[in-house]
Amino acid sequence: MTATTDGSTGALPPRAAAASDIHSETPLAAGVHEAAERAARRATDFLLARQDPAGWWKGDLETNVTMDAEDLLLRQFLGIRDEKTTQAAALFIRGEQRDDGTWATFYGGPGELSTTIEAYVALRLAGDAPDAPHMAKASAWIRDQGGIAASRVFTRIWLALFGWWKWEDLPELPPELIYFPTWVPLNIYDFGCWARQTIVPLTIVSAKRPVRPAPFPLDELHTDPANPNPPKPLAPMRSWDGAFQRLDKALHQLRKVAPRRLRKAAMNTAARWIIERQENDGCWGGIQPPAVYSIIALHLLGYDLQHPVVREGLASLDRFAVWREDGARMIEACQSPVWDTCLATIALVDAGLPADHPQLVKAADWMLGEEIVRPGDWAVRRPQLPPGGWAFEFHNDNYPDIDDTAEVVLALRRVRHPEPERMERAIGRGVRWNLGMQSRNGAWGAFDVDNTSPFPNRLPFCDFGEVIDPPSADVTAHVVEMLAVEGLAHDPRTRRGIAWLLAEQEPNGAWFGRWGVNYVYGTGSVVPALTAAGLPGSHPAIRRAVAWLESVQNEDGGWGEDLRSYKYAEEWSGKGASTASQTAWALMALLAAGERESKAVERGIEWLATTQRPDGSWDEPYFTGTGFPWDFSINYHLYRQVFPLTALGRFLHGEPFAGKATVPATEAEGSG
């Protein structure tokens, strides 16, 4: 049942069932509306055919070859690397190399030094000779960029495991960090959950400083093999960078005098922390990096490979492998079944699938079974808040996330389930948990409350991307939209979220996208949320957003944005090759703003219809998701399907909850 703002309830009205007939004529021959209907039918059939029998959807989650390289390095370190796995990984890594000999972190992106170094070392493990043309080209480029010494800390940690780099030339990470109370700066809960799960095991690795015999030298990756790491000048003492550089030097000295008993106790405490957070399937947090470092850390403390914790951890890593038809093996950094399933459910209902369709009910059943009903690390900051959220992955009870919880609630609200009371209880818990995770500024982060300490990003160790989890416009928008649908548009907590969103609008009318690329994603998330909460399409903030979206529409009618917009916003904001997912985000915003009859919407719908494949899918090699803006990019293979279908459905049928909320006239007339 759907809660409305007047306190009544009512299920979503039934819609026309999807048809399976595929027409052969040109999509636009019968007009834009007919083309949209045809494209929506094809996309619906394509998506329904790919649901798992258990009820979930999951597309491949593609990142970059460091996942594959580090998987081989882990196996080399543990002595379990086998030829089949090595050659399958090497086949994938070679296939990702660019013409200039480098590897990038996203499709069409520039070569990236650390990624190229790790890929090169992995291919050396696979037997590729350093004088082979593709290897020589890579090593020459690496030297031109400053060699190993210029790479990120994490790359040099992997190399230090084999003596290719000196541990003493790495930033110190003391295990005693585990003892810092939450009120002390740089305690582990000042870090975002992904960084926290990685840093705790790395404190053990840093303390142990293991070295396995290197299978070959890497002199060709140094600018000067005789002096691979020349000293670098310190930043000014009065700067933050200078202060933390000197702190790191002090920690290196402290290592020499730290009481051994205290250090051993700290490592054992860290090990207990790690083991307590292992999931039922053996993984840690449902993501690859913490699992890799946790296995290494525990192994260094004496846990052998047959110990249940280590054995199940290794087995979980195997489940991140995607074997392709050509024999290549790609490692997913994470898996996204909850996210994919709730987005697929929203898309199918919005496109006209009946709310009680058996496959939607099965999807709802699966999502209900994935609800997290025990406290996790989030409870450190919210000890009195009852649990009730959803995570992103198959198994991740320690770290439900606010974004998934909001979208799951929006998905469940669209389904007419035979057990409505069960649905209501789960939705109620999810809404309560999301409200309880609101940060002080009125917005929402992804996993934690007020995870905004300025110190973690300053550490010399933390050069691998975002290590904190501040509130973002896209997550806040999804929560606001969900609260509006739940009849809470006028709740003071919702209004604080709306006020924060309005204040965060960029001067050009867009919103920054933290978890999707980038301003198109942020704007495509915020505008539907604001209108769902009752702001009219005439609101100045929405008019500015519409004007910006229209100004960045590509000549072909689609929208696209390159990941370079995170680094060079003025040049790349809203600019890039048209993609199915980004075109859909722009359309979702424009449709929410009341622009259904506009030329921009018509051209966008035409682009989706004409670029759809005969089987109902879209091609999208571009990366439109992010783990860390710029530093770690993601191609969600299901984005190209669920978001276009959602946009087509809303073009054809409108938004299912439109008109449920209104705002006072004084707020509606505000300038934002």
For 203, the 3-state DSSP assignment is helix
Token reading at 253: 């000295």
Which residues are bridge partners to 10 per DSSP?
2
Name, in order, each residue with C-beta under 8 angstroms of 659's C-beta and a sequence gap of 6 or more. none
Token reading at 449: 């409350």
Q: Is the dihedral of CA 352, 353, 355, 360 positive or negative?
A: negative
Question: Is 224 an active-site residue?
Answer: no
**Phi (first) and psi of residue 111, to 5 degrees:** -60, 145
The Cβ of residue 219 has, within 10 Å, a number of other Cβ atoms equal to 13
The Cβ of residue 47 has, within 10 Å, a number of other Cβ atoms equal to 24
Q: Rounded to whole angstroms, what are the CA distances from 213 to 73, 129, 164, 662, 664?
A: 12, 19, 10, 67, 70
Compute the distance between CA of residue 480 and CA of residue 493 in angstroms, rounded to an integer.
Answer: 9
The Cβ of residue 597 has, within 10 Å, a number of other Cβ atoms equal to 7
CB 218 within 8 A of CB 159: yes
For 634, the 3-state DSSP assignment is strand
Percent helix, percent strand, percent coil in the chain, to nearest 5: 50, 5, 45
For 53, the 3-state DSSP assignment is coil
Compute the distance between CA of residue 386 and CA of residue 597 in angstroms, rounded to an integer.
Answer: 45
The Cβ of residue 454 has, within 10 Å, a number of other Cβ atoms equal to 10
CB 203 within 8 A of CB 173: yes
Compute the distance between CA of residue 357 and CA of residue 352 in angstroms, rounded to an integer.
Answer: 10
274: left (phi over 0), alpha (psi -120 to 50) or beta: alpha
Write out the H or E segment, with its range, that includes residue 340.
helix 337-350
Residue type, 341: T
Decide: residue 207, CB within 10 A, 0-12 exposed, 13-18 middle, 19+ buried. buried
Token reading at 395: 């198994």
Compute the distance between CA of residue 338 and CA of residue 370 in angstroms, rounded to an integer.
Answer: 8
Q: Give the count of alpha carbons within 13 A of 341, CB side only.
A: 34
Which of the following is catalytic: 71, 403, 448, 469?
Answer: 403
Active site residues: 403
